[in-house]
Amino acid sequence: FQREYKIQHFNAKEFIAPYLKNETSELPPESALKFLHAYGLISSAPDAAPPERQLLLKLGTATDIEFGPYLYLGLNGVAAEIETSLSIMLPPLNPFLAQVMISRSPIAQALTKRGTRLNEDLAISLLQLATIITDNPEIESMELYLSENSEERFDLTAGPIRIRKSLIAAPRHLVIAPYPTEYEFHDRLKDGREIMIRPIRPEDETLHYKLFKSLSRQSNYFRFFSFRRHLTHEQAARFTQIDYDREMAIIALLQEEKQERSIGVNRLTYQARSDQHEFAIVVADEFQGTGVGSILMQRLLEIARDRQVKQIIGIVLAENQKMINFCRSFGFKVKSQEGNSITFYLDL
């Protein structure tokens, strides 16, 4: 199989719809190939590498009663009899998570000793498989086999694709909500510069860390209620790898010298203990007063209303007069005051 970055799968459903039943059935081979072709997986004649150094892999999906569909990656062939461990991840995937999945797999070390093309082929295959599972709750299980060829690329062959009717529409069959593209916006700062507002993604970890490091001591203190000198990898990952169903974080991105820069983040988190939705916003010091904070708040309120959130709260230090004025400009009212912090609320 050849792998293409661009996946065109608008007509994929027509290849499985005629075969859907209440019980599990196997998709006929001809329809299975057309279905995979719709996702960019195109058949080609294998040209195997020498057997003594050939990598044989398998990647697939199965369904867990509690967690729903999941992806797995492991060795295939004789090597699988020795190393049986699998790298497992819940869909959907993005390029960052695909690389994480590869790094946790039993073939990670072998890939590092080869060229980058094998890694790229594998990552694309994982992304395509994840897209198939995200789009199609009817897929109960499927498996793909990768074999290294003489050009240090992977050829793919397909195993059986098992399907059955689903009462749950995509993407509700997934435990983790997919990236919400409907919350991407283009806006302009007061000086006319264009910015992009979009949900945060795992690959934004570096951008988020740079924003954190750029904060003045006061901005850092006002955001975290104490001066936080360091942000660990685990903390940065927690801020960027979110469950879009339970929380939302949108970032403001500015193009600077052909590179993106994060100049602000606004986050809406559900607090289960108090049954409340709390926002927290931070803007890079040099961009305070440019309008980016107001844009981030306006967009977050739009998202909250779209998700039928009834009320938002925000906790502000009593000495942070700028933030107090900011909250009031959007109609927030004081809910309570304890010690040196004020809790504001806004009914939507």
> Does pLDDT of 151 surpass 60?
yes
Asked whether residue 188 falls in the same domain as residue 146, the answer is no
Question: Average of pLDDT values for 262-272?
Answer: 93
Does the structure show a pLDDT above 60 at 158?
yes
φ, ψ at 46 (rounded to 5°): -70, 145
CATH of the domain at 157: 3.30.470.20
Q: What is the pLDDT at residue 333?
A: 97
Write out pLDDT tens, residues 221-231: 999 888 888 88
The reply to whether 2 falls in a domain is: no
Sort 137 into a burial class: Cβ within 10 Å, 0-12 / 13-18 / 19+: buried
pLDDT at res. 82? 62
* CATH code at position 245: 3.40.630.30
- On whether residue 300 sits in a domain, the answer given is yes
Same domain, 122 and 189: no
DSSP string of 46-70, one letter each residue: --BPPTTT--EEEEEEEEETTTEEE
The answer as to whether 176 is a domain residue is: no
Residue that terminates a domain, selected from 163, 196, 218 = 163
Inside any domain, residue 174: no
CA distance 122 to 134: 18
Nearest alpha-carbon partner for 149 in 41, 4, 50, 42: 50
Range of the structural domain that residue 134 is part of: 12-163
What pLDDT, on a 0 to 100 scale, did the predictor assign at position 53? 54
38 and 112 inside one domain? yes
pLDDT of residue 54: 72
Cis? peptide before 46, omega within 30° of 0:
no
Which band of pLDDT confidence, cut at 50, 70 and 90, is reported for residue 96?
confident
Residues 248 and 272 sit within 8 Å (Cβ to Cβ) = no
For residues 209 and 74, membership in a common domain is answered with no
Q: Give phi and psi for 75, each to the nearest 5.
A: -80, 160
Residue 171: per-residue pLDDT: 84
Which residue has better confidence, 196 or 178?
196
Q: Contact 79/58 with Cβ under 8 angstroms?
A: no
Pair 61, 120 in one domain: yes
Q: Which of 212-216, 241-245, 249-253 has the lowest mean pLDDT?
A: 241-245
**CB within 8 Å of 57: residues ≥ 6 apart:** 73, 74, 75, 76, 107, 122, 145, 146, 147, 154
Is 5 part of any domain?
Answer: no
The pLDDT tens digits of the residues spanning 197-219 come to: 999 998 899 999 999 999 999 99
pLDDT at 179 over 80: yes
Peptide bond into 92 cis (omega under 30): yes
Domain assignment present for residue 3? The answer is: no
Q: Span 114-142, mean pLDDT? A: 90
Q: Within 13 Å, how many C-alpha atoms sit on residue 138's CB side?
A: 21
pTM: 0.74
> Residues for the chain: how many in total?
348
Let me know if residue 220 belongs to a domain: yes
In this structure, the answer to whether residues 126 and 234 fall within a common structural domain is no
| 32 and 115 together in one domain | yes
With a CB cutoff of 8 Å and minimum separation 6, the contacts of 325 are none
Does residue 343 carry a pLDDT above 60? yes
Tell me, yes or no, whether 155 and 213 share the same domain: no
Q: What is the number of structural domains in the chain?
A: 2
> With pLDDT > 90 as the criterion, what percentage of the chain qualifies?
59
